[in-house]
Structure 1
C-alpha cells in the first residue's frame, strides 16, 4: 500500500508538496477554500478587475492523482487530521501548510470565490467615489497597496499612517531603499503621517465607502472615505492538538528542524509562514520549503533518513508600486544592491509571478490559453 500524506493548507507550500508527491504517495490536500488564491497579486486585483482571473485558480485541476478535500482541519494530531467529530483522515505523514492570516484585501476570509469577487467589486465601486484613502501601516503591504491605488486611480490621494518614524520600520533595509521609495511616494502625492499611532480606528469596516475623520495620538487629523489595515500578520496554527500546540512559540510559529520536521516529530512537517525559520515570509520561501519536505518524505517512503536540509536564502525585498514603479533590495556578488522601478517591474511588478502560478494549475499560462 502507498503511504498516506495529508497536506493541511492549500497555499503556495501546500500545493507544491501535494502536486510533487502525487505519484509517490496517496495524497490528500485539505483546504476550505474552493480556489487557490495567488496572494502575491491580490493587491493588484483589488484595484483592477482584469486581474481577478489571475488570482483565483480552482483546485480541481491541481492533482492528476490524489484528492482535494474542501473542509477545515478542526484538530490535527501526529498521524491523524480530524475534519469533524465523525470524519478524520489517517496519515503516515502530515504536512502543515496553513500560512498566515492577514487583513483584506491582501488576503480573504471568504472561502467561496464568488463571494470574494463580489466583495472586491463592492470595494472598487467605493474606491471610484473616494477622494482620499487612509492606509494604516507603512510596511511592504501598505506601500504596495498605496502604489496600486495611485496607479489605478491617478487622482486619488492616499495617506499612510505609521506609528514609527519612517517607512519600512521592520527589516534590514538600506537607507537608499527607503530614499528610493519615499521619492516615488512623493511623486504620487502620497502623504506620510509618521511617528504616532491613531488614537482610534474609523467606525467602519475596511474597504467600505464611508467618510470619516480620525486623529493620531499627537492630534494630527486624517480625513478619508475608505481605509485599510496593512499590518497584523498571524500564523494560522490554532487547529493543533495539545501536544503540537504546546510546541509553538509565543507568536504562534512552530519550531522546525533543518529538515523541516516539527521538532520532536518524525512524521509531522511544516512549510511556509507557520515555521520559525528566520526569514521574511515569501511565496518563494514556501516553495523552497516544499521542495525540502518533498525530498525528505520521499526518503522516508524509501526507508531512508531525511537527506534534504533548508538554509534560508539571503534576504531580499521586491516592492512594486503599481505595474511600473517600485524599488528592490537584492544581493548580488555578496553585497546588497538597490534596484529601481524598471528592474523591479521586470522582476515582479508587471506580472506578479501570475504566469508561473497559472502553469501549476492549468498546464499553461493565460497567454498560452489565449486569454
Structure 2
C-alpha cells in the first residue's frame, strides 16, 4: 500500500512484550500508533539480573523510537477507553479502526518498573543495587517463581548474603506445576544456602519500604519473628485495566482481567482486542503474551489485506523456566517429559536472560 493515508489505523496501548510484537508485525500494512507511558521497553525477564549486576541495565532498556519503521510512538498513557475512543493523559483523543489493549500488569519493583523514562529507571535500579550491597541479610516475601528466581540471583552473585524466602503455602511454586519441579528447585535452593520459611504467611508487611536498607522485622502467623536488612515483595500481580469505560469496563473480572473470545476480542467492544496479562484466555507469561500477540496480529493482517484465514487462540502446554542464577534452575518445557534441570535452563535463559530475541525487534 503506497500511502499511510489509505491504510487502516491500528492503535496499540502498552509497550510490553505483547504490545511491541503486535505493533511491529502490523507496521507494514497499517498506520500503527504505539502508546506507552515510558520512552523505552523494559525486558522485565532480566530485571532481577539487573538488580544484582547493574551492567545488565544497558541491555534491558530498548527505546521505542527504534521499533517501527513507518508507524509512530507516543510517549503517553491512556486515561479512558470507551469502545475504540482512547483519551490520553495529554488530552489527545485517538479513534483508530482497530484497537489492541496490551497494557499488561503491575508488579512490585524491581521485577517491573513504572518510570517515565529509561534514565530514571536505571537510576532507581542502581539505587536498589546499592541498598542490596549494603545488606547482610535479605528477606524475600513470596515463594512463587519470581521469589525463587530472585533468591537464586542474590545467592549466585552475592554468596556472602543470607537469604530467606517466606511463603504462605506449604510448598514453593503454588500452581499447576509438577511436584518434581518443586522438589528440584528446593534441592538447588538448599544447595545455594537459601532458607525457606513456608506454610505461614507474614502477619503484616515490614514498615521499611521494599528494596530500602533498614531494620526489617516481620512476624509469621505461627509466631516466628524474622529480621533482615532489606526485603523484596515477590507477589502482587495487578492487571492494568482500570482505564476502561462503558461496555469494556463491564468485561472486567473482579481480578482485573478481561473476558475475551476465541480471537481475543474483548467482550462488548467492536474492533477491540486484548493480549497478554490482561486477558482471561491463558496463564500469564512471556511465551503466552507472544503467542497471543502473534495471533491477533495475524488476524488483523488477514482482515486488512484480505489474505489468510482467521484463527482462534488455543492455550499452549505448560512451559516455565526458573533460573537460579546463571548456572542453576529447573523448568517444565513443551515436548519434554519430566523436569529439565540446571544445564538446560542455564543455556535457555540463565546465561542470556533471553535479551537478544527481544532486542532484535528494535533493529528497524
Q: Place the TM-score, normalised by the shorter chain, in its bin.
A: over 0.9
What does residue 369 of structure 1 align with?
Answer: none
1:345 aligns with 2:346: yes
What does residue 177 of structure 2 align with?
Answer: 173
Over aligned residue pairs, what C-alpha RMSD do you find? 1.5
> What are the equivalent positions in structure 2 for 1:218-367 lying under 5 Å apart?
218-279=222-283, 281-302=284-305, 307-332=310-335, 336-362=337-363
Q: Structure 1 length as normaliser, TM-score?
A: 0.93
Counterpart of 1:158 in 2: which secondary structure? Answer: strand
Q: Quick check: 305-314 or 222-231, which moved more?
A: 305-314
**Structure 2 alignment gaps of length 5 or more:** 1-5
Superposed displacement of residue 102, structure 1:
0.4
Q: What is the alpha-carbon distance in structure 1 between the residues aligned to residue 163 and residue 100 of structure 2?
A: 41
Q: Structure 2 length as normaliser, TM-score?
A: 0.95
Q: Quick check: 295-304 or 196-205, which moved more?
A: 295-304
What does residue 366 of structure 1 align with?
Answer: none
Counterpart of 1:143 in 2: which secondary structure? Answer: helix
Q: C-alpha deviations, 1:55-113, integer Å up to 9, x for none?
A: 10011100110100000111112222111484111100000000110001100121221
Q: Quick check: 254-263 or 141-150, which moved more?
A: 254-263
Q: C-alpha deviations, 1:8-51, integer Å up to 9, x for none?
A: 00011111111111111111001110100001111111110111
Counterpart of 1:337 in 2: which secondary structure? Answer: coil
* 1:84–1:328 distance in 2 versus 1, CA, 3 Å: closer
Q: Quick check: 288-297 or 61-70, which moved more?
A: 288-297
Q: What is the alpha-carbon distance in structure 1 between the residues aligned to residue 141 and residue 88 of structure 2?
A: 36
1:61 aligns with 2:66: yes
- Asked whether the equivalents of residues 331 and 337 of structure 1 are also in contact (C-alpha less than 8 Å), the reply is no
Equivalent of residue 134 in structure 2, options 112, 121, 129: 129
> What are the equivalent positions in structure 2 for 1:50-199 lying under 5 Å apart?
50-84=55-89, 86-169=91-174, 171-199=175-203
Q: C-alpha deviations, 1:338-368, integer Å up to 9, x for none?
A: 11100111111111110111111136xxxxx
Counterpart of 1:198 in 2: which secondary structure? Answer: coil
* 1:274–1:347 distance in 2 versus 1, CA, 3 Å: same
Q: What is the alpha-carbon distance in structure 2 between the residues aligned to residue 210 and residue 145 of structure 1?
A: 19
Q: C-alpha deviations, 1:113-143, integer Å up to 9, x for none?
A: 1111111111111111211100101000000
Moved over 6 A (4+): none
Q: What is the alpha-carbon distance in structure 1 between the residues aligned to residue 216 and residue 9 of structure 2?
A: 54
1:202 aligns with 2:206: yes
What does residue 367 of structure 1 align with?
Answer: none
Counterpart of 2:11 in 1: which secondary structure? Answer: strand
* 1:205–1:305 distance in 2 versus 1, CA, 3 Å: same
